[in-house]
Chains A and B, each alone.
Chain A
Amino acid sequence: MQYLKLITLFLKANILIELEYRANFVAHALVSLGWVSVTIVGTTVFFTQTDTIGGWTFYETLVISGMFTLIGGFIQMFLQPNVQKVIEMVRLGTLDFVLIKPVNSQFMASLRYAQLFSGVDVIAGGFIMVYAMGHLGLTPDAVTLLLFAVMVLMSMVIVYSIWMVMATFSFWFVKVGNMTELFNSVYDTGRFPVSTFQGVLRVMLTLVIPIAFITTFPAQAILGRLDAVTFVASVVMGFGMFVFSAWFWRFAIRQYSSASS
C-alpha cells in the first residue's frame, strides 16, 4: 500500500518535471520517430538481399524489431534515468538520504525517476508489432496473449536486473558509464533474431547477456511459436536475475557501509 502510494507520487513528480520541459517533449518525439524509421529501414535493407534471416521472414523479424523498440523505450523510460541517478548519488554521497529512509532502498533507487517521453518508443514498438502481425495475417488468441504478456514481463525483469547490477557496480567503480554503453551496443543485436548469430556468440547472447530472452523469445510468444522449454527458461531466468540483482544490491550496500567514510 505504502509502495503503491509512492509509485503514484513518483509518477506524478515525473509528469510535473516533464511538463516543465515542454520543448524537450517535441524534440524527443522526433528523435524517437527517427530511430523507429532507422530500425525499420535497416531491417528492410537486410531483406532486399535475402528472404529469411536465421529462419525468420521479413514480417516476423519486424515483430522482433517492434519488441526491440518497445524494450528500448522501457530502458530509456525507467532504467536509464534511475541508474544515472544512482551513479550520481553514489558520487555525491546523497545516496545516504535513500539509505536512511524506512523503505526498501532498491525500490527507492530504481523506481524514483522516469523519463516519460520515452513512452513514445514503447507505443511505437507496439505499433510495429501490430502492423507486422497484420501483414502475417495472425490474430493471437487469449492464451497466446497471456503467454506473450508473461514473456514481456520477464523480458523487462531481465533488463531491469541487468541495469541494476550495472548501477550497483558504481559503488566500487564510481564511473560506470562505459558499462551502460557496452550494454547498449550488445542490446543492438536484439533487433535481429538470436538464430541469426552462430556458435559462441549465440550462446553468449542467450546465457551471458541474455538478449535472446529480451527480444527474440517474447516475439516467438506472440507469433505462437513458443515452446515450453523456452517459456520455463524465461521465467527461471527472470526470477533468477531479479533475485541476484537484489542480493548484489544488498551486498554492495553492506560494503558501502563498511568501506566508505
Chain B
Amino acid sequence: MAYQIEVSHLSKHYQVHDKEPGLAGSLRSFFARKYRVVKAVDDVSFTIGQGEMVGFLGPNGAGKTTTLKVLSGLLYPTAGNATVLGFTPHQRETAYLKQFTLVMGQKQQLMWDLPALETFLVNQAIYEIPRAQFDATLKELDDLLDLGPIMKKQVRKLSLGERMKCELAAALLHRPKVLFLDEPTIGLDVTMQVRIRDFIAAFNKRYGATVILTSHYMADVTALCDRIIVIDKGHLFYDGNFRALIERVAPYKIIKLQLERPTTSEVLSQFGKVEFSDGLTAVLHVPRASATESAARLLAQLKVEDVTFEDPPVEDIIREVFAVNAASNPTAQE
C-alpha cells in the first residue's frame, strides 16, 4: 500500500436551519424551518504516506474538522471516497478503530471527577491492550510528557496544559498508527504549546505514526509539518511544502519597533517596507533573506527601546494564498 490515507473527491454536505432574529423569527422557524445546504467539504483530494506529518490550515468553518471526522468514521461522506490504512472509515470496523486516534483540543474524554489514570485503565480494557504493553507505553508516555505527578490527581484539579497532556496520553495508549489532532494546543500558554509540539514530534519519530494536525497557531505547524494543506470553505487551496509557500506568498518578516525618539516613515523606509508608523511605534516588513542584516543596521542607527521579530501570521499567509488563487486557478498543487 503506497499511501496510508487516500482521499479522493471527498464531499460532505449537510443541512442546517437558519433561525431568524427575534421572537417572531423564532416562532416562524419553529413551524416552518428553512433549510440550507452547507458544503463543509467540497471535492477535496489528497494522499498521505506513512509517517508523514501534515498540517491542515484554514479559517474557522473551513472544513478541517469535518475532514478529520470523515477520516475518523464519525461522518459519512456525501460523495467521494476516503481510505485510511486500507479501511473505509465510516464502516467503523474494530480493526480500524484500534489503529487510529482522534484528539480534539476543545473536547475531553477524561473522566472529570477521577484521576486520568482511571481513564487510562478504561482505555486499556477498551483497546484490549496487554498488561505488559500498557505498562511499557505508559512509561514511555510518562518519559515524554512527565505524567507522573499529574495522572493521579483528579482531572478537574489539573491545569489546562496538564489536562491536555493526559488527554494525549489517553488517546495514544493503544499506539495508534494514525493520529488526527484537532487543535491540540488550543488555549495553552506558549511553554506548554512547545511542550506538546515536541511531544508530537517525538511520538511521530518513535512510532513512525502518521499525523494530521490542525492548528490556529502558525508555530505549531511550522515546527512540525513540512507539508501543509490549506482548506477554505470546503475547498482545497494549497497542498505542498510549507516553506515554499511562505517564500512565495509571504517572503518577509515583521519587525515591530518601539522607538525612543519620534522617527519619520521616510527614515524607517530605508530598512524595510513601512506598514505602520506613528512616530514612536512602527511595523516594518523586511525581506526574509535579509532580515537579520536589516535588523542589525536598524539597531545600529536608531535609538530603539524595544523590538520584536515575527513571522507573518498564518491568517495573512492564507489570505495571500486565496488572493493568489483567486487571480489564477482555484486549486494549486505543488
Contact = CB atoms under 8 A, between A and B. Distances in A.
Interface string B66-100: 10010011111000000000000010101001101
Nearest to B69: A96
A9 B109 contact: no
A137 interface: no
B326 interface: no
Given A5-B125, A6-B126, A102-B97, A13 B111 contact: yes
Interface residues of A, number: 27
A13 B97 contact: no
A93 B125 contact: no
Contacts, number: 80
Contacts of B65: 261
B75 A257 contact: yes
Nearest to A102: B97
A174 B57 CA distance: 31
B78 to A, nearest CB: 8
Interface in A204-261: 254, 257-261
A41 interface: no
Given A6-B126, A9-B121, A100 B72 contact: yes
A5 B126 CA distance: 9
B214 to A, nearest CB: 15
Contact of B102 (A2, A96, A102, A258): A96
B114 interface: yes
Nearest to A7: B125
Contacts of B98: 102
A100 B107 contact: no
Interface residues of B, number: 37
Interface in B56-70: 65-66, 69
B15 interface: yes
A96 B114 CA distance: 20
B108 interface: yes
Give the interface SS of chain B, mostly helix, strand, loop or mixed.
mixed
B104 interface: yes
A200 interface: no
Contacts of B104: 93, 96
A258 B114 contact: no
Interface string B256-270: 000000000000000
A256 to B, nearest CB: 8
Contact of B122 (A13, A96, A258): A13
A183 interface: no
12 contacts: A13-B111, A17-B113, A20-B113, A92-B107, A96-B72, A96-B74, A96-B107, A101-B127, A102-B127, A108-B126, A261-B38, A261-B40
Given A97-B107, A99-B73, A102-B127, 16 more contacts: A2-B126, A6-B122, A6-B125, A10-B122, A16-B113, A16-B118, A17-B111, A92-B107, A100-B102, A102-B98, A257-B90, A259-B14, A259-B15, A261-B14, A261-B66, A261-B75
